[in-house]
Structure 1
Amino acid sequence: MYGLVRRLPFVLFFLVYFWTNVSGQTSAPGKDCVSKSNTSCEECLKNVTCLWCKSNQQCVDYPVRTVLPPKSLCPLPEARWGLCWVNFQALIITMSVAAAIIIIAVVVCCFRCCKRKKPRDMRADATMERQAEVRKVHQEERRTEMRLRHDEIRTKYGLTKENAYARFEDN
């Protein structure tokens, strides 16, 4: 989880970069972020590589190597990146919650899809039930045939079911 939180600013960086380029704000590669200090947040964030610190009104280069800006540079609640009205901490929390919800939704969907029976499975179940019924009928027929054979043998040797002790009385 910690690794995901550490990589999240990179993902956000690319999302904001593409969003700002599509919305008409282009990055100025030749201009330095420090030169935009003491101007405005909007002016600073026109360049997507810049980070605005609201507490000291400074525009600084985004520290890409540390992923999250260090507290010595600017505290997270005061940092603005991409949008002036969203602080960096809220942006990270919101994106983490959104990512978690999406991951949970995908896992639930996969679980439900795997659990649901497919039409082929229903046909296979119906076939298995028919085969089980046929086996049950054959088994009953065999039991009936065995009973008839046993009854024939009993009558042949005088061992009828009505009175099993009758042969002992003849002695």
Structure 2
Amino acid sequence: MWSSDRTSVVLLVFFASILSSDAQTSTPAPGQVACALRSNISCDECLKNVTCLWCNPTSQCMDYPASNILPPRSLCPLNDARWGVCWVNFQILIITMSVLAGILLISILVCCICCCKCERIGNKREDAKMEQQTRVRKAHQKARRTEMQLRHDEIRNKYGLSKDNPYSRMNDH
């Protein structure tokens, strides 16, 4: 429970810092009407200016409190506050961002685990392949060594150099 609250706060800080980077000034840009002058009109009209916050029950348009991440409850309750678009309140935004962040973290974790697992499986396959090649190489080497020994024995027999006792001297014949 505590980690999900912490995650949602961290996400809100992140998104609020991104979204409020343009909203740091309280003076409206030329051609924009101040937020307080848009009260009692409509939510859509109020939120055309990104620095404005709409409070549903009071139908007030006010400057977004950029010093706070979330608007204080005294200003407007989270489930009644609208910012950016009229159909999403801050509570839904917090819950949605928390769920999306959780899904993102879990998917990254699953990807990392899968990559590590695939790498280990690939290494095991490579090791098995190398062991098989080594066994084949040793078998060929043993066959060549045996063949060479047979040829040497034939040559010794041909020239009468074969010995019954392999430890006897060559001079004895």
- Tell me which amino acid in the other structure corresponds to 1:53: C
Distance 2:64 2:19 in 1: 15
Structure ranking higher in helix proportion:
1
Change (3 A) 1:104 1:10: same
Change (3 A) 1:32 1:9: farther
1:68-110: CA deviation from partner (whole Å, max 9, x where unpaired): 1111000011000111011111011111101111110111011
Give 1:63 shift.
1.5
Give the superposition deviation at 1:52: 0.5
Residue of 56, 80, 83 corresponding to 2:82: 80
Residue 29 of structure 1 corresponds to which residue in structure 2? Answer: 29
Is the CA contact 2:8–2:98 (under 8 Å) kept in the aligned structure 1?
A: yes
Q: What secondary structure does 1:108 align onto?
A: helix
Q: Does 1:51 align with 2:53?
A: yes
Secondary structure at the aligned position of 2:73 is classed as coil
Question: Cα–Cα, structure 1 residues 76 and 105, in superposed 2: closer, same or farther, change >3 Å?
Answer: same
1:51/1:80 contact within 8 Å kept = yes
Q: How many angstroms apart in 2 are the aligned matches of 1:41 and 1:35?
A: 13
Tell me which residue corresponds to 2:11.
Answer: 8
1:112 is aligned to 114
Distance in 1 separating the partners of 2:42 and 2:115 = 51
Amino acid at match of 2:48: K
- Confirm or deny: 8 A CA contact 2:20 2:66 kept in the other structure: no
Of 63, 66, 84, the residue aligned with 2:65 is 63
Matches within 5 A, 1:120-131: 121-128=124-131
Distance 1:84 1:16, change over 3 A: farther
Partner of 1:148: none
Supply the distance in 2 between the matched residues of 1:102 and 1:92 (Cα, whole angstroms): 15
CA distance in 2 between partners of 1:64 and 1:7 (Å): 16
| Equivalent position amino acid for 1:29 in 2 | A
2-structure distance, mates of 1:47, 1:10: 21
Instruction: Tell me, yes or no, if the aligned pair for 1:44 and 1:59 is still in contact at 8 Å.
Output: yes
Question: Structure 1 pair 7/59, CA: closer, same or farther in 2 (3 Å)?
Answer: farther
Task: Give distance in 2, aligned partners of 1:67 and 1:5.
Answer: 12
Identity of aligned residues (%): 45
Deviates more, 1:36-45 or 1:109-118: 109-118
Aligned residues: 127
Q: Supply the distance in 2 between the matched residues of 1:79 and 1:90 (Cα, whole angstroms).
A: 10
CA–CA distance in structure 2, aligned partners of residues 34 and 8 of structure 1: 28
Gaps of 5+ in 1: 19-27, 139-171
TM-score normalised according to structure 2 size:
0.61
CA RMSD of aligned residues (A): 3.0
